[in-house]
A = this chain, B = another copy of it.
Amino acid sequence: MRIEIITIGDELLIGQVVNSNAAWMGRELTQHGFVITAITTVGDHSDNIMQAIEVAFGRADILLLTGGVGPTNDDITKHTLCRYFHTALEFNDEVLQNIESVFLKRNLLLNQLTRKQAYVPVSATVIQNKAGTAPILWFNKEEKVLVSMPGVPFEMKMTMRDDIIPRLQKQFQVKQYLRRTYLVSGITESSLATRLAGFETMLPTGFSLAYLPSFGFIRLRLSAWGAEHEQEMKQLGRKLKMLLGDEFVARSEKTAEALLGDKLRKLQLRVSTAESCTGGFIAHRITAIPGASDYFEGSIVSYDNRIKEDVLGVEKSAIGKFGVVSREVVEQMARNVANKLKTGCSIAVSGIMGPEGGTKEKPVGTVWICTQNGDEQLSVEYRVGSNREENIERTANLAILQLLKMLTRKGVTESN
């Protein structure tokens, strides 16, 4: 069942608002077995909305429109829909009652502008908006459907879950979407594609494999339509995991830091970080996960070398002999931060993020990462890129993945 999403609003075109509504709808609809063929964003401009609807109806059976349904003059979706469906507005008492009850809950007084929202197109079926004042409008056009809903994320989500998806599933008997997502690290996209070339070639009809590369890792998505593929999906998934070998990190759609959090919580371990070049970004990524206080203790960001010596207790002689970006220094950082902050695990990084600071022996992009679990340390040298912003992100991902892999292997060993 093909769906297209049309998001309406100048604020989306000029980038004042990121279109997270479309992403949410895409996720939710895909999980319910719908196929999204396109997402179109147009401004509050009647002709452009009309054209977007025409083009989209050429490809899809269901159009979902968000936005442009507020009470002010620049919100013109409703009038455009009257134009498109050759219908007119009429006053709807139930909508007014709904608006009044929403206003009552918020302790607000109804004004003339808001009353205008009770005018709805004659040919539309009205779904009441439980969280706001703009009604949801459902149009049938032969075998096809167009639904117009508010762009306010909370209102959109509520009506999508409670009203629109259930009604669509009923009206169009939908197939189930199966997928498995794999987090892979330590290999480039092209090397991975080479390794999986044979697997990809022999994939049965209906199955597909997608590569979603990111900084320091790749997500692989194996997918198929229809519950009848479930058994085959399992077998293919097992085969794929085997092919991924040491580069396999997890079968999950979660972020690396969320997976690390799960692992630490499960193993009842706590972690601290000693960061030089990442400047606190690893700690931030770990603490961006709700409930991180269950396993995250703290961090010492030793941006200046003096802090490495004074606060982290790295030996001046080690810095002098091996340089600040070296195995010896990150190993001392990892050991000392774990001791100082009393954690079982730790992550320490030191590197050159650029644009300045590179030398011939240690060019921009050189990074040492040490991860520690109890008495065990793992130290790896990486070459990231030449762009500072990207380097910081890639280094944080690599560090989190390095500890995650270390704990996963340990987990495996323990359970053997």
> Hey, which bits of chain A sit against chain B, CB under 8 A?
10-20, 22-28, 30, 36-43, 45, 48, 51-52, 55, 59, 70-74, 105-108, 111-114, 131, 152, 154, 158, 188-191, 193-194, 200, 208-213, 219, 221, 253, 273, 275, 278-284, 286-288, 290-293, 296-304, 306-307, 311, 340-342, 354-356, 363, 365, 383-390, 392
For A113, the chain B residues whose CB sits under 8 A away are: 190, 193-194
Q: Are B18 and A41 in contact (CB under 8 A)?
A: no
A27 to B188, CA, bound (A): 32
Q: A43-B37, A48-B38 are in contact. Are A390 and B15 (CB under 8 A)?
A: no
A290 to B278, CA, bound (A): 12
Q: Are A131 and B385 in contact (CB under 8 A)?
A: yes
Q: Are B280 and A365 in contact (CB under 8 A)?
A: no
For A303, the chain B residues whose CB sits under 8 A away are: 283, 287, 292-293, 296-299
Q: Are A189 and B154 in contact (CB under 8 A)?
A: no
For A19, the chain B residues whose CB sits under 8 A away are: 18-19, 22-23, 39
For A18, the chain B residues whose CB sits under 8 A away are: 18-20, 23
For A200, the chain B residues whose CB sits under 8 A away are: 73
For A299, the chain B residues whose CB sits under 8 A away are: 279-280, 299-301, 303
A82 to B112, CA, bound (A): 55
A111 to B24, CA, bound (A): 37
Q: A23-B18, A106-B383 are in contact. Are A284 and B287 (CB under 8 A)?
A: no
Describe A's contact surface by its main secondary structure: mixed
A363 to B24, CA, bound (A): 28
| Min CB gap A219→B, angstroms | 8
Q: A280-B280, A341-B307, A384-B106 are in contact. Are A37 and B48 (CB under 8 A)?
A: yes
Known: A105-B385, A298-B307, A300-B311. 6 other contacts (CB 8 A): A11-B210, A16-B212, A16-B221, A17-B23, A71-B190, A106-B384
Q: Are B111 and A190 in contact (CB under 8 A)?
A: yes
A33 to B397, CA, bound (A): 37
A-B contact pairs, 24 of them (CB 8 A): A11-B210, A13-B36, A16-B212, A36-B43, A38-B42, A38-B43, A38-B48, A39-B40, A105-B365, A105-B385, A113-B190, A279-B283, A279-B287, A279-B296, A280-B280, A280-B301, A287-B303, A287-B392, A297-B303, A298-B301, A298-B302, A298-B307, A311-B340, A311-B341
Q: Are A28 and B15 in contact (CB under 8 A)?
A: yes
For A354, the chain B residues whose CB sits under 8 A away are: 290
